[in-house]
Structure 1
């Protein structure tokens, strides 16, 4: 079972040539063709996919599932790797600031209580709505790779 407390701090997070490695999910309800998004903790009114730092004691898939639990209270099965995407390329260093690694998760259940429930709202959107509302390019790319895009 997942912890009721979110992991905090970056001391155990992984980096690649200075780029923070971030793992996340496109949590889907495949029957309803919906995507679960969470309110951004940094930008009010912005909706994002659940994601966060990949830590040194877990696999990419475990990090993505943990972040989806912590931020959205969703538990499910990872069914596909959706790709790796560089975010905020820094011309001075010649490297990205972050590398996002996304997976598709078929949501099996949504819990009433989850670690970041007081920090974040969660909401189901149709696939088409999610593509419109998500502002970050790396997240739109991940959405375009999920199984809902091919139906």
Structure 2
């Protein structure tokens, strides 16, 4: 997958318009096409009525590893360093990557982007799917099947649906490995790192030709 983009517009519901208008003032008009096939609301979905399960009864969840490049200056040279965005758990003190339920009225990619906007208040270009993991919920005796994508962030909103219940923080790779509380998300992070390292090697080889 080379990239997946989604356009967002606000519904005309009066009870959310005042909350969302400051966010959409920051979005360039060219982002919104003349015809909108699907509307993604910036109000968090709640409930499990549309939750997707597989044939074995595993709850399907989708998330992202949001990242950006930060330029570093040193010794007369310029380099770029990856930063990762982590969010606080709603319960407990841990940090994790944004993720949530994949619902039956959306594609996997749409679910990944929606959950990342709802929980972390960022969006961007959806890149590689990093893999699939099975894990058991700590609060429920339910097995989840989790999918993770890489997301290169190009929009970061000051206000987002879960801003009052979550904190977000850009961190370096070493800190992300240390503070991410979910083992399967740490594995997804290592897959992400390996993919980006290979991409960097290809870029270096191409520049040397």
TM over 0.5: yes
Aligned match for 2:47, one of 1, 4, 9 = 9
Partner of 1:87: 135
Partner of 2:190: 144
Partner of 1:18: 57
Q: Deviations over 1:63-104 (max 9, x none)?
A: 011000000000111011000001029xxx9xx700110000
Partner of 1:64: 112
Partner of 2:171: 125
Q: CA deviation at 1:4?
A: 3.0
Cα distance in 2 between the residues matched to 1:135 and 1:4: 26
> Are 1:76 and 2:114 an aligned pair?
no
Aligned match for 1:42, one of 71, 91, 98 = 91
Cα distance in 1 between the residues matched to 2:42 and 2:113: 14
* TM-score, L = length of structure 1: 0.89
Partner of 1:110: 156
Cα distance in 1 between the residues matched to 2:42 and 2:161: 5
Partner of 1:27: 66
Cα distance in 2 between the residues matched to 1:40 and 1:21: 19
* Structure number having the greater strand percentage: 1
Q: CA deviation at 1:18?
A: 1.4
**3-state SS in 2 of match to 1:38:** strand
**3-state SS in 1 of match to 2:132:** strand
- Which structure is richer in relative contact order (CA contacts within 8 A, separation 6 or more)? 1
Cα distance in 1 between the residues matched to 2:112 and 2:126: 9
Report runs of 4+ in structure 1 exceeding 4 Å deviation: none
Give the count of matched residue pairs: 145
Cα distance in 2 between the residues matched to 1:107 and 1:27: 6
In structure 1, the gaps of 5 or more residues are: none
Partner of 2:31: none
* Structure number having the greater helix percentage: 2
